[in-house]
Chain A
């Protein structure tokens, strides 16, 4: 069977869990025969939290995630990423984190997971019940911007805006950990994100301005 040039087969298709599949065939054979073994419960079948005796989840399952301080129920496949769960499956969706590279290289999907930044495209949603997930929507609202969001507006730290959610989230996480960063530390804190329009200097300026606001007002980042 040909793989049509897909660069990184994700392994199992519906009905075969990631782990059981990896155990059974080994990673090198991922591309080839996966589909031949398909005999699956419908992807659109009602969510059946079908954990086998060996503890392996198959098919779609309903899980509870803690997102922006709220318990949210969402139906996912074992291979559904956190990003896809937020954007494609959660009702109503959270689309602040963006799908850009889907490969952990651009930072547009950055969320805060238990106090640290993480790429939502590179986490499996099913691993995350019990963890604290914060998206950009959880940091502030248009009527009540967080200090970082307000500083991004003031310094014009965005153009098309598709990377902005990720940068706001990274800078917020940085300032929570280090309220008084040096310019070098700001670059380090954002190096997992990139922007194509070229807003970097204004992002750095916004991070500095937000740190000053936080120092002056004592408002949380």
Chain B
């Protein structure tokens, strides 16, 4: 009698990302053998340098982003936004705006505002110009309320309360034990580090084009990190069934954690399109993007740590405040990637009348990394130990040791002045380093549909989105490699909620979630096609192989198109799902920087940076190097340039534009050396976008100190802070 063996199950941990912030959950999966990637150095396409498949579209201006969508009769939406940091709205006079020719909708919706830039009125008009006129013509009468826009002010007793009082203090560790441990330390550092609220500065602002001309169905083109985060809310806003709303994300101009869901621009795009019966483009202006498009939290981190002369980090006490605006902010716990014999940490968010902080590339990690890496350097100097050796002694993960040594060699660590500020002359060189780690990893969500047509076309479909990370390219490469085809023989279709389900791109989990599903689909397609072709070759199906556009078996060969004649008229259609054995988690890296500080002007030039990053199976080395470069460059911006500047008296942001919110540009670019750590031989996909962004800021800060002897603990490190450190005012 045939008995069905119950499928064995196993429990595994996978990341679960909510609004870009990852946590871990345990799930149960089938314990069966599926496809495997094979050795990392044995791939034909994967782990090589593959030009991205959408390169020709992006370099010729023919890639259509949400901001580029233009439909017949489309109108332009805009918001009137608050000019006050906190106010009740007494009245809104829309009459002048409504009289402007071409203006079709002026809809007030807010009764109070909690920050400058909070939307108050939604507007639609037939031309961009008329929409702008209408914004200026709306008259809002405010009743200003007490506000606070600076964290220090907000922490004072009697400061205006933004939310009802509640205890949001999180505590870990034993403060008494830590205090006692300091007695045994040979060196103790007790300081405060600060990082500023930063902006994602996505070049494509938040927004949508909503195409709802009545009837049962609507299409929402959205600049979002999650194709499937849009249809639910959009259908509610338009009173439609969720299945009748399609979200399209063909190309996407940057997210960095700020673009989950459709946001307020999406909500009003939907409402206005429904009201007017025409398509509406609702993209934030650059100024509104700065004021209401989200931001990355700042931090105040009071740290006290001690070490013994042998280089052991003994105790670490940290009191951490995330600067969250009207949102939440989580800063990674200290001592981050280092083991301290004993630690205590306390975390409390500080709210101000500013837009809510949201996830931003490795949420809360670059901030924590800057503080602990600076602190590690300060301790290393005090006990007279080389900073690389001090780190190697205290890291929690073995990979970091390998990466620190590799990076030290690449940057020329041997040239580091042993004493800070000791280079002769006024241009002083210095070196610094830092380490970072991130969970990444994949989980079950993605469904990939793959169709092989009778004409030999191969199409892989997934609703997932490409933020510029190279999703399209690796989807194509995985399928091409499995089926023995070239990159141009496969077509990927992504970015539509009509395709297979996919997770939103947060926590560096996209590749590790999607790539296994693509591999599974391609594997299933190969097995299914082999079965169909085997009789033609006179071979057993499992002896059929696919190479160089040919299908081989029993000493015979068919070219790809001949083989595909065996598939049904509707095509050979298979599905793939995430398989646990194909993704891993835990990515580690180390950054190094060499800088030059002019001690006459305070000017800082980063000469060279390198970043060593592991990531298991690298799907595309070229795109991975791009990502590592991008991580270093964003670290450079955080270290030296970027800060949201607030006027504490008026409650307004002083630099909501790219003229004054300084991003790193061509002239600030150091030599950049991205290094993929092939010492990591895990045959599994692990996302690396966020980890590459973590340790660079500490590396730059430490290099600045090593160059000129000024320890700046308050980012960004600007020339005035260097000069104040070098030549302090006399009391």
Q: Which of A103, A143, A145, A161 contacts B468 (CB 8 A)?
A: A161
Contact residues on A (Cβ < 8 Å of other chain), bracket: 35 or more
**CB of A43 within 8 A of chain B?**
yes
Evaluate whether A159 and B626 lie within 8 angstroms (CB atoms) in the complex, with A5-B83, A13-B100, A142-B62 already known.
yes
Q: Check if A14 sits within 8 Å of B101, measured CB to CB.
A: yes
- Would you list which residues of chain A between 143 and 174 have a CB under 8 Å from chain B? 143, 145, 148-149, 152-154, 156, 158-165, 168
Q: Which residues of A contact B536 (CB under 8 A)?
A: none
Stretch at the interface among B240-248, B318-326, B408-416, B658-666: B658-666
Known: A6-B136, A200-B666. Is A103-B63 also a contact (CB below 8 A)? no
Does chain A have a CB within 8 A of B201? Answer: yes
Contact call B467/A153, Cβ cutoff below 8 A: no
Measured between beta carbons, the chain B residues less than 8 angstroms from A191 are 665-667
**Residue A209 CB within 8 A of the other chain:** no
Tell whether B672 is near chain A: CB-to-CB under 8 Å: yes
- State whether A164 touches B136 (Cβ < 8 A): no
Q: How far is the CA of A152 from the CA of B252 in the complex (A)?
A: 18
For residue B254, CB closer than 8 A to chain A, the reply is: yes
Q: Choose among A88, A145, A148, A161 the residue with the greatest number of B CB atoms under 10 Å from its CB.
A: A161
Chain B residues contacting A20 (CB-CB under 8 Å) are none
- Contact for A162 among B49, B101, B204, CB less than 8 A: B204
A161–B100 CB distance below 8 A = no
Q: Is B224 an interface residue (CB 8 A)?
A: no
Partner of A88, one of B70, B254, B625, B663: B70
Complex Cα gap A165–B203 (Å): 12
Does B657 make an interface contact (CB < 8 A)?
yes
Say whether, besides A4-B81, A99-B67, A137-B61, A158 and B629 are in contact (CB < 8 Å).
no
| A9–B287 alpha-carbon span in the complex (Å) | 13
Q: Report yes or no: A160 in contact with B203, Cβ–Cβ below 8 A.
A: yes
| Cβ–Cβ contact A2 & B126, under 8 A | no
Interface pair B666/A187, CB less than 8 Å apart: yes
The residue on A at minimum CB distance from B663 is A194
Residues 1-41 of A at the B interface (beta carbon under 8 Å): 1-7, 9-10, 13-14, 31, 34-35, 38, 40-41
The answer to whether B57 and A97 touch across the interface, beta carbons within 8 angstroms, is no
Once the chains bind, are B128 and A88 in contact (CB under 8 Å)? yes
Q: In angstroms, how far is the closest chain B Cβ from the Cβ of A12? A: 9
A141 to chain B: which residues have CB within 8 Å? 60, 62
B140 proximity list for chain A (CB < 8 A): 2, 4
Answer whether A145 and B68 are a contact pair too, CB < 8 Å, given A2-B83, A156-B623, A196-B201.
Answer: no
Q: Which of B618-653 contact A (CB under 8 A)?
A: 622-623, 625-627, 629-634, 652
On whether A108 and B136 interact (CB within 8 A), knowing A4-B81, A38-B100, A145-B59, the answer reads no
- Interface membership of chain B positions 29-60, coded 1 if the CB is closer than 8 angstroms to chain A and 0 otherwise: 00000000000000000000101101111111
User: B62-77 vs A: 1/0 string, CB under 8 Å?
Assistant: 1111011010000010
Q: Is the CB of B136 within 8 A of A34?
A: yes
Q: Tell me if B534 counts as interface (CB < 8 A to partner A).
A: no
Which chain B residues border A190 with CB–CB below 8 Å?
666
Interface residues of B in 127-166 (CB under 8 A from A): 127-130, 132-133, 135-140
Residue B171 CB within 8 A of the other chain: no
Q: Which residues of A contact B82 (CB under 8 A)?
A: 5
Are B657's CB and A165's CB within 8 A? Answer: no
B116 — which chain A residues lie within 8 A by C-beta?
5
Does B80 belong to the interface (CB within 8 Å)?
yes
Q: Could you tell me if B627 and A38 are in contact, using CB atoms closer than 8 angstroms?
A: no
Nearest CB of A to B622, in Å: 5
Which listed residue (B57, B130, B136, B632) contacts A14, Cβ 8 A?
B130
Query: Are A153 and B52 in contact, CB atoms less than 8 angstroms apart?
Result: yes
Name the residue of chain B whose CB is nearest to the CB of A136.
Answer: B61
**Interface hit among A46-54, A76-84, A211-219:** A76-84
A74 to B54 Cα, complex, angstroms:
30
- Number of A-B residue pairs with CB-CB distance less than 8 Å in the complex they form: 249
CA distance A87 to B69 in the complex (A): 9
Knowing A44-B101, A193-B666, the reply to whether A136 touches B70 (Cβ < 8 A) is no
Known contacts: A101-B658, A159-B469. The answer to whether A43 contacts B203 by CB under 8 A is: no
Answer yes or no: A198 CB below 8 A from chain B CBs: yes
Q: Which A residues lie within 8 Å of B469 (CB)?
A: 159
Evaluate contact between A156 and B625: CB separation under 8 angstroms.
Answer: yes
For residue A79, which residues in chain B have a CB less than 8 angstroms away from its CB? 129
* Residues of chain A within 8 A of B200, CB atoms compared: 196
- Nearest opposing residue in chain B for A153, CB measure: B55
**B631: chain A residues within 8 A (beta carbon):** 198
**B719 interface contact, C-beta 8 A:** no
Task: Kindly state the separation between the CA atoms of A141 and B57 in the bound complex, as whole angstroms.
Answer: 8
Question: Which of A34, A153, A154, A193 has the largest count of B CB atoms less than 10 A from its CB?
Answer: A153
Q: Is residue B202 contacting chain A, with contact meaning CB distance below 8 A?
A: yes
- Do A4 and B58 touch (CB < 8 A)? no
Which residues on the A side are within 8 Å of B62 (C-beta)?
96, 137, 141-142
Q: Which residues of A contact B133 (CB under 8 A)?
A: 13-14, 35
Q: How many angstroms from the CA of A168 to the CA of B70 in the assembled complex? A: 23
Provide the bound-state CA to CA distance between A163 and B251, in Å. Answer: 13
Cβ of B254 and Cβ of A4 under 8 Å apart? no
Residues of chain A within 8 A (CB-CB) of B64 are: 95
Given A142-B57, A196-B663: A160 in contact with B80 (beta carbons within 8 A): no
Please tell me if the beta carbons of A165 and B61 are within 8 angstroms of each other in the complex: yes
Q: With A9-B136, A162-B203, A200-B633 known to touch, is A137 a contact of B126 (CB < 8 Å)?
A: no
B286 and A102 contact, CB distance less than 8 A: yes
Q: Which of B70, B137, B252, B629 contacts A93 (CB 8 A)?
A: B70
Q: Is A199 part of the contact surface with B, judged by Cβ < 8 Å?
A: yes
Measured CA separation A168–B472 after assembly (Å): 21
Partner of A158, one of B58, B126, B633, B664: B58
Residues of B within 8 A of A44 (CB): 101-102, 126-127
B52 surroundings in chain A (CB, below 8 A): 153, 156, 158
* Chain A residues near B423 (CB-CB < 8 A): none
- The interface bits of chain B over 660-702 (1 if a CB of A lies within 8 angstroms of the residue's CB, else 0) are 0001111101001000000000000000000000000000000
CB of A140 within 8 Å of the partner chain: yes
B422 within 8 A of A: no
Give CA–CA (A152, B203) in the complex, Å.
Answer: 19
List A contacts of B99 (CB < 8 A). 38
A214 smallest CB distance to B (angstroms): 16
Contact A42–B102 (Cβ < 8 Å): yes
Asked if B253 CB lies within 8 Å of chain A CBs, one says yes
- Interface residues in A64-112 by Cβ distance below 8 A to B read 77, 79-80, 84, 87-88, 93-103, 105-106, 108
CB pair A14 B102 closer than 8 Å: yes
B contact residues vs A (CB 8 Å cutoff):
49, 51-52, 54-65, 67-68, 70, 76, 80-83, 96, 99-102, 116-117, 125-130, 132-133, 135-140, 200-204, 251-254, 256, 285-287, 467-470, 622-623, 625-627, 629-634, 652, 656-659, 663-667, 669, 672
Question: Across chains A and B, which 3 residue pairs bring their CB atoms closest together, nearest first?
Answer: A96-B61, A160-B468, A198-B630
Question: Can you name 17 extra interface pairs (CB under 8 A) apart from A4-B140, A105-B659, A153-B56?
Answer: A10-B132, A13-B136, A14-B129, A38-B96, A44-B127, A97-B61, A140-B59, A145-B56, A149-B56, A153-B59, A158-B59, A159-B469, A159-B627, A187-B666, A197-B468, A198-B633, A200-B664
Q: Can you sample 23 A-B contacts with CB below 8 Å?
A: A4-B140, A5-B83, A13-B136, A40-B101, A43-B101, A88-B127, A88-B128, A102-B286, A136-B60, A141-B62, A153-B55, A158-B58, A158-B59, A159-B470, A160-B202, A161-B58, A161-B468, A191-B667, A197-B254, A197-B468, A198-B634, A201-B669, A201-B672
